[in-house]
Amino acid sequence: MTRTNPRDAPAAHPAAADEDALKELIAGELGAVRDRSFGLTTDVLDEAGLTSQVSPLMSPLVWDLAHVGNYEELWLLRAAAGADAMRPEIDGLYDAFEHPRAERPSLPLLPPDEARSYIGTVRAKVLDSLPSVRFDTADPLTSGGFVYGMVVQHEHMHDETMLATHQLRKGAPALLDPVAEPLRKDPSAGSGIGEVLIEAGPFQMGTSDDPWAYDNERPAHVVDLPAYYIDVEPVTNAAYISFMEAGGYDDPRWWDPAGWEWRAHHAGNHHAGNHHAGNHHAGNHRADGAGGKRAPAFWHREGGQWLRRRFGRTEPVPPDEPVQHVSWYEADAYARWAGKRLPTEAEWEKAARWDPAAGRSRRFPWGDAYEEGRANLGQRALRPSETGAYASGASAYGVRRLLGDVWEWTSSDFGGYPGFRSFPYKEYSEVFFGPEYKVLRGGSWATHPLAVRGSFRNWDYPIRRQIFSGFRCARSVDGEWR
């Protein structure tokens, strides 16, 4: 079975494959994600770079590397194939809930060479056992290859976390900066400025039949929404600078009370979030002076110009890219300043998935099959694209770039859908339900296509800025903020 390019999308929707074809797809995706993981760790950094911790709230990269292999062993060898534990003594070291990130550098972690050898042995055993594992429709763990899809998605999520760790690293760039087209505006796409009216009415939210969807995406259920407007494109750096220059960071009218307190302080110290975002808040010390925060993370002003640090490179802030590395509090404040609000996650999903002509929800904004070139996903470039790019990825309503570029904050707290059932373990979703976490949608340029879809839900604390997060605005037809 051949490996695919680490940036390639899955060949087909997994539900469309018979068991043999699905196993071939799984083997290819396992190889592709591992190539990507090595490309972010052992292929680009020496032992010191892999074992050091760039922040007390981020894991050393060598922990992430061994963790994805240990997770794979737990689920694909022990649970799916019925194998004995290979190294049970290390399970606790790589349990994300047993040891917070601040503790991980002090643990007796596998050194890089041993970590790479361990996860390689796990992978070889997984591929050897794959032909004999039956995808039993009566077993929710193996039906449709779910557990294999869960493990592949999990590793891609950690790869995105690894990219956030690279962004926090100081010193010379370790990652190449690929050029992927189209990152620039499609001349036929129009300005990208404006909003779209989403008519009132019901739509189907979530999914009950996507074989690799997580428990928090299930079950499908009908949500009836009033009419609303939503931005055609995410908010750009240029628009956000207008908010900054208008004194947006200094006017408490625009800020949630907790956000107003947050912006006045230099840094925060919170627990790690979910596997996908899973990053910490670390203030930009050059933009966050004694008077508090004044700009997105990694920005600083020099000679009258806003600059940003991006993977070890300092460059002018591109005006036409979506603003990135902003917290929920910043997104919410901007939206209020603009006379709008953040969309609820139901509003976001209806704009992204609902096809009013067909009367059904799509898997992706443009249709049910992933198509290369319709979204800036999968680390094709180490940055978002310009407004007007990827116009062919628009939803049925004409809303663009709903997948890729930046995770989009919504106004919604994270919780289960009606009829939610935890599967296969509570620690993936259920333990995070509650008002502490805000939902993000749509994935970023760092998210792999296999690890995101129109129903996918991410979540994190409202202070998070190291994640590749941005936003778009919405407003009610009656003009009210809420």
Domain borders along the chain are 14-168, 182-482
Torsion of CA 105, 443, 375, 326, to 10 degrees: -90
Angstrom distances, CA of residue 288 to CA of 242, 324, 386: 18, 16, 27
% of residues, the chain, pLDDT over 70: 87
Q: Encode pLDDT of 343-358 as tens digits.
A: 999 999 999 999 999 9
Q: Which residues of 58-68 are buried (b: 16+ CB within 10 A; e: fewer)?
A: bbbbbbbbbbb
The fourth-level CATH superfamily of domain 182-482 is paralog of FGE (formylglycine-generating enzyme) (3.90.1580.10)
**Tally of CA atoms within 13 A in the half-sphere of 368 that contains its CB:** 10
- State how far the Cα of 277 lies from the Cα of 298, in Å rounded to an integer: 18
* Reported pTM: 0.91
- CATH fold of 14-168 reads Four Helix Bundle (Hemerythrin (Met), subunit A) (1.20.120)
* pLDDT value, residue 306: 98
Tell me the residue ranges of DSSP E strands in 303-456.
Answer: 305-310, 313-316, 354-355, 360-361, 407-414, 434-441
Three-class SS state of 225: strand
pLDDT digits (tens, 9 = 90+) for 245-279: 999 999 999 999 999 999 998 544 333 344 444 43
- Residue 409, SS3? strand
**Largest distance between two CA atoms of the chain:** 65
pLDDT in tens, 68-82: 999 999 999 999 999
Is residue 276 exposed (0-12), middle (13-18) or buried (19+ Cβ within 10 Å)?
Answer: buried
Q: Given pLDDT bands bounded at 50, 70 and 90, which one contains residue 100?
A: confident
* DSSP E strands, 210-285: 221-225, 228-231
Q: Is the pLDDT score of 43 beyond 60?
A: yes
- The SS3 assignment for 102 reads helix
What gap in Å lies between CA 272 and CA 268, rounded to an integer? 12
Distances (CA, A) of 394 to 91, 261, 352, 354, 383: 44, 37, 8, 12, 20
